[in-house]
Chains A and B, each alone.
Chain A
Amino acid sequence: MSLPAPSTIIRGRTWVWPDDVNTDIIIPFRFKARTNDPVEMAKYAMYGFDPEFYKKVKPGDLFVAGRNFGGGSSREQAPVAIKYSGVAAVVAESFARIFYRNSFAIGLPALEVPGITKQVKQFDEISINLQDWSVTTKDGKVYHALKVPEFLRGLMREGGLVEYYKKHKSFPWEGLQATASTT
């Protein structure tokens, strides 16, 4: 089973998380190492903070997190568990390197917005724009995420590497010329 590609504008209520939420909190090894089924992985999303999280999260909810979200392991099961738990996007002050790459690879929108945790409270309604890569908070203020190269934003909009490859029979970086980037 695969989920549809994310919409351009995503609105939802937020779960606010602290700094340094690592991949063992997002999905402990002993659960992720025993299944290849994303629906099963989702039952253990955020297990390290709350083993019942998957019962509490609603489809379309959003994550807002502090620095270094997704640190530690290379496990792609971490963004997969978050995505299949129903969470539509993650906004963080910063992401750990591999989690960030994995989020693009599986089509979980991940936006880096320094200072965002000071602007959002638990269960605030916010919206995310995947066209101009921005976040609008409850009071209508717009915060632009750090720039991401267009090939990665395109990959995200198409829903990740599997969907991209099935459609184009190539990877989004093939034929890419060296570009300056601020990511």
Chain B
Amino acid sequence: MSQTILNDDSLTFAEKIISIKADGGKKVHNAGEIAVLPGDMAMAQDSTGPLAIKVFREMGVQKVWDPKKIHLVIDHSFPAPDEKVANLHIMIREFVKQQGVRLVEGSISHQHLLENHVVPGMVLFGADSHTCQAGAIGAFATGIGSSEMAAVWASGKLWVRIPESIKINLTGQFKKGVYARDIITHFIGMVGEDGGNYKSLEWKGPGVKNLSIASRACISNNSMECGCKLSIFEVDPVTQDYFKTANRKAMFEIHAGSKAHYKEEYDIDLGTLDPQVWGPGNESKVRSASEFGDDHLDEVFIGSSTNGRYEDLQVVGKILKGHKVRAGTRCIITPASRDVYERAIQDGLVETFLESGAVFTNATCGACVGTHLGVLGENETCLSTSPRNYVGRMGATTAKIYLSSPATAAASALEGHIADPRSYL
């Protein structure tokens, strides 16, 4: 039956993968239906895990369904910035020991799973909204809360509603200074913060082949900011190459049917995009970097699960090399994983960062979550490559947050205000 579903020309990615996985592939599920979906992997992090552990215990469940499939990741506030956080971290470590589940400390969960665990055709439930990042390699990956995570730990399954899908057709090639982040910022600006709510995004078209796995991960990750349930890049030669070196095999390579039904369709010509900036705050419009004035930036943060990958740090190194961060602007660079951190040290990128006057931190969610390593004070202004510019996200509720690509952020750190990166490339 699975083969029939895989070949069905009328189904979207979401319909296919849920149909294959739920009820043993015996039945086709269409958008709008409810199904009970077995998970292949479950992940919780240090700000959702402790509550999930508490709920799991309150339910009175003794043992998790499959310890090898459960990952706990201490990433949001790592290492613990204070005693309260440290105590919640202890709770996670004790649970890990008791249940024999997997633990990682000091890499962002989404990047850690992408580098080491997720494969195409897998179902990943994550107690973190940006879990949808793993859609970049053709996995069903979606965010849930702590109680539902406890239910997944207990039973290995969860109810899902089969989402309607939105197709985005990418064409053309980037101009200089434009990156994956600019695509997704542009898209969110176009559809709005709930433009993808409950939906599955499918990124398709000839422009996709120009996007690396890191770039796709940036887009799938940041798709959460329009509310989506899934954000999918189907397996193609770029994905296949990635998994050849990654030494892991796909469970399924799922391709949406050519006659699949999409609720909405969009076209984006990569060649028409300029570097994009969203802010200040999520109520502002998305504009080109060159449209901003010279308002002083107190902080530039480069990192997070959206844009803290090696590919991002390379571009930042290229821009910062031989220049100095403007006096009065803090530039904080935070790698997304231990692997990115080590490569940046080995390849001399960190030397470039330090020579420019930037701060290079350990791998963590860092300043994105406003709890350590770059918290914003009253009325401060920040340009960040992290996913969110919500009020109070990075610290004081009076602080202003703009979002951009790492290239725009690096150029802006040099100028001390929002700047177009193209003059540095």
Contacts and interface: CB of A to CB of B under 8 A. Distances in A.
A171 B155 contact: yes
A127 interface: no
B167 interface: no
Interface stretch (B179-187, B260-268, B390-398): B390-398
A35 B83 CA distance: 11
A20 interface: yes
A40 B46 CA distance: 18
Contacts of B395: 30
Nearest to A32: B47
B88 A33 contact: yes
A102 B158 CA distance: 13
B390 A22 contact: yes
A71 B197 CA distance: 9
Given A76-B146, A162-B55, A68 B47 contact: no
Interface residues of B, number: 67
Contact of A28 (B59, B88, B227, B392): B392
B421 interface: no
Contact of B193 (A68, A74, A80, A97): A68
Interface in A1-51: 2, 20, 22, 24-25, 28-30, 32-36, 47-48
Interface in B109-145: 126-129, 131, 143-145
Interface in A124-183: 149, 151, 160-162, 165-166, 171, 173-174, 176, 178-183
Contacts of A71: 193-194, 197, 227
6 contacts: A24-B390, A29-B76, A29-B393, A71-B197, A102-B147, A179-B34
Interface of B: 22-23, 27, 29, 32-36, 46-48, 50-51, 54-55, 58-61, 76-77, 82, 84-85, 88, 91, 126-129, 131, 143-148, 150-151, 154-155, 157-159, 161, 193-194, 197-198, 224-225, 227, 229, 282-283, 369-371, 375, 388, 390-393, 395, 397
Given A29-B369, A30-B375, A178-B29, 14 more contacts: A20-B282, A28-B392, A28-B393, A28-B397, A33-B47, A35-B84, A36-B51, A73-B129, A74-B144, A105-B145, A162-B55, A162-B59, A162-B147, A166-B60
